[in-house]
Structure 1
Amino acid sequence: MSTTPEPPTSLPATEVAPTCICVLGAGIMGAGIADVFARAGHAVTVFDADRERAEVVAEQLPGVAAADSIEAAVRDVEVIVEAVTENLAIKEPLLRQIGELNPTAIIASNTSTYQPSELQPGVPNPGRVLVAHFFNPAEVVPLVEVVPAPDTDPALADRVVALLRHAGKVAVLLRRESVGFVANRLQAALVREALHLVDEGVVGVAALDAIVTSGIGPRWALAGPMAIADMGGLDTWAAVTARIFPTLDDAQRAPRLDALVAQDKLGSKNGAGLYDPADHDVATYQRELRELFGR
């Protein structure tokens, strides 16, 4: 039995022509995305409302240039990747603006939550809007979910998949849009149960992470949950799920996360979060998390 992921399109992972690409947003994700495309030989421009931040990214990444205005950034490019703050009130007017400035470019949002159909209103030629969901750190994690809206031009979605594959990414084209797409839905389901087990006193935070990284993580990295179920036997899994499913958490919110955010404990952003801040200083904690991904 092959455990190779189902090919999302018929496109082979072959060479593609150099493409002019603009990345809007020079934060962690925008910088990583710019690096991915620049390393693949494309002409990459980055723009950020914080001009200095865009210039720093351009100085650090070979093959990336900083634009001094959004007009200059998007005017003559073929693909625009939007990687700004995860806020629809910010994304909507920006997408409308860039759609008017460049009426033909593919517009790919790096949103992790909004469906492409939510991003299309007001954009001229909305059939060129889709989602290209990279994962942090974008230059390290192979997966990119390509999510079309119901009326996204299939040929444009295929072109984005080809660009990503050429850049060395595992580009998976979803069959239709869904809130949170696929990877984040799977992560959310696991995180909900993880938080529940910690709150119920079954396991501690560090021990829970050890269970994932030393158990199900390596198994899923090799085969994925569907292949693992087949390997274990579906009669066994039917029995296991029949017993466990009724006991799984079905909370609509995550009280532990809400409480930590209310206390301004945001994890690696400021050093305090699910892990006890007494165990580390902020700089050490941030460095250790970066090193997990070889950064």
Structure 2
Amino acid sequence: GASLIAIAQIDIKRTLSYIVSSYMGLVFIAVGTGQTETALTLIFAYTLAMGLLVMSIGSVVWNSVTQDVRSLGGLWGKRPISAISFIVGSAGLVGLPPFGCFWTLSELASGLSEFHPLLLGIVLFVNGVTAFGLVRVFGLVFGGKPKQMTERSPEVHWPFILPMTILMGFTLHVPHLLAAWQLLPVASLNYTATGLVVLSSAIGIGAGAFIYLNEKWEKPVQIGSQALQDFFAYDFYTAQLYRVTVIFAVGLVAQVISWVDRNIVDGFVNLIGLTTVFGGQSLKYNVTGQTQFYALTILFGVGLLGLIVSWPLLARLSLIVGG
């Protein structure tokens, strides 16, 4: 779902953030099916590639003012290092040989191919849609002709470029690192599943290039009906669903508690206060100023208190006498 949402976003950072969510879903699939080592290697390869993508896009946002991909374009000739970094990060993120995630996704697909064909289909779908979405972002940001926001958008300074190029080198060397750590799953791969991973990547890249790297295709691209595109662009309307379910329920409970507090709790406290005031007003009319009356009142109160305190003892004495 997150990979589909990503291809409908116009905020350049949101296009990457939803890819993060979709790959975390792949990690959960690996853990849930007992492929914990595959999950760890997938996180490793994904982290380097996604970090490179974020650095590339971050450098674009840094001095291009806007984050709207519809206002970007034509940066390939102006920012070649950022563009190459984006290409390397994209290649390292999808199942494209011989880059890092190709090995981890192929290992995951091989482990799912025999007993979990539905999950295998999900992995292939996410990989293909992610490849399509990354080509879409590349075409809208680096492809085409410069626009108003990108006419004066030069390559960033070396404090940005240096760590980006270093991370590019690490991303390219992920297969070597996996081989050095004896984590490269060459012997355990199912070649049919591996071929499907490569095929899904090729379909996604090819479809994305045909649409977003084709200058004859009018931009912005309308894929399907407007209602379907809005469904993806507004995150499956999860915000609206959350508002009419969770927020509505919490608000209703809050209103009930507020009513109980105002009408029952406060009412009981106010009743006690009124009773106290009424009792005080009533007692003031019984004040005579005569010492004999006060003494009689005290004597009566002490006697009543003594009777209450000694009542259990008197009851036991009556039982003894009666027995």
Task: Report the TM-score, using the length of structure 2 for normalisation.
Answer: 0.21
Q: Which has the higher contact order (CA 8 A, sep 6+)?
A: 2
Q: Looking at CA atoms only, which structure, 1 or 2, has the larger radius of gyration?
A: 2
Task: Report the TM-score, using the length of structure 1 for normalisation.
Answer: 0.22
Per residue, is there more strand in 1 or in 2? 1
Per residue, is there more helix in 1 or in 2? 2
